[in-house]
Amino acid sequence: MMKSLISMLFAVSLALGATTVWAAPESENAIDTAQGDVTLYPVQHASFVLEWNGQTIYVDPTQGADAYAGLPTADIVLLTHGHGDHLDRETLDGLDLRKALVVMPQAVADDIGETYGHAQTIMDNGETVHTDAGVGIHAVPMYNLPPSDDAYHPRGWGNGYVVTLADKRIYISGDTEGIDEMRALENIDVAFVCMNLPYTMDVEQAADAVADFSPALVYPYHYRGQDTQKFRDLLADKNVATEVRLRDWYAQ
């Protein structure tokens, strides 16, 4: 009897040890707008949440629904492309998306169908939509260089996004390199810029591209294995008036 009890307790401890225990994401004010603050909740890697003026935006939600415990339900979900660290059906299945507008490129729609949210919006690079709650969403290119049909991220396969909240513009890079379309961005107040090899770009290319479009504020994200302090130093050497905020996107 005692051996059976010990065995059972050992099995339970193993199961608990194999389960990630998520703390509620820590928040910070990313930027002020004419209609209130934008609150940022980093989740992990490429996943984060923005909250503004009663609207909650989930970006590439992954890591399971427990990672979003304590956060408001999504009003908008932005999906950049179909790789597993950006598109996780298990996470989507576990979230309450019944009232959400789910935005995606065609390649993601081909994968998940009309499964999530009360409305799905398929956007090609260059298209813009505006929600009734005052959120502007503009799909921008994300791709590898040189452009190639067999690249990790071919041109036109995925979307980055520029989100307009009142008087501020927020750029979400998705998985990309320092493409001309990124460098040509204007009036970006906050940028979330990826940097990891071999799938996107190194810190040198990221700093060079960010220097070209000079956002007021940049958060390196999707940076596993890269030296983000070096990215900050490189950008400082270019005398660009961009604030770099380094956050731990891999705390869990």
pLDDT for 26? 83
Q: Which amino acid is at 169?
A: R
pLDDT-derived band at 25, boundaries 50, 70, 90: confident
Mean of pLDDT values over 19-40: 84
Rounded CA gap, 186 and 214, in Å?
8
Mean of pLDDT values over 227-238: 96
Write down the pTM of the prediction.
0.90
pLDDT for 96? 95
Whether the per-residue pLDDT at 199 is higher than 70: the answer is: yes
Strands (E), the chain: 28-33, 36-44, 47-52, 55-59, 76-78, 101-104, 119-122, 128-130, 135-140, 160-165, 168-172, 190-194, 217-221, 243-244
Mean of pLDDT values over 128-142: 97
Rounded CA gap, 94 and 57, in Å?
16
pLDDT-derived band at 52, boundaries 50, 70, 90: very high
pLDDT tens-digit readout, 100-131 = 999 999 999 999 988 899 889 999 999 999 99
pLDDT for 248? 93
pLDDT for 251? 82
Mean of pLDDT values over 233-243: 95
Q: Is 160 helix (H, G, I), strand (E, B) or coil?
A: strand
Whether the per-residue pLDDT at 45 is higher than 60: the answer is: yes
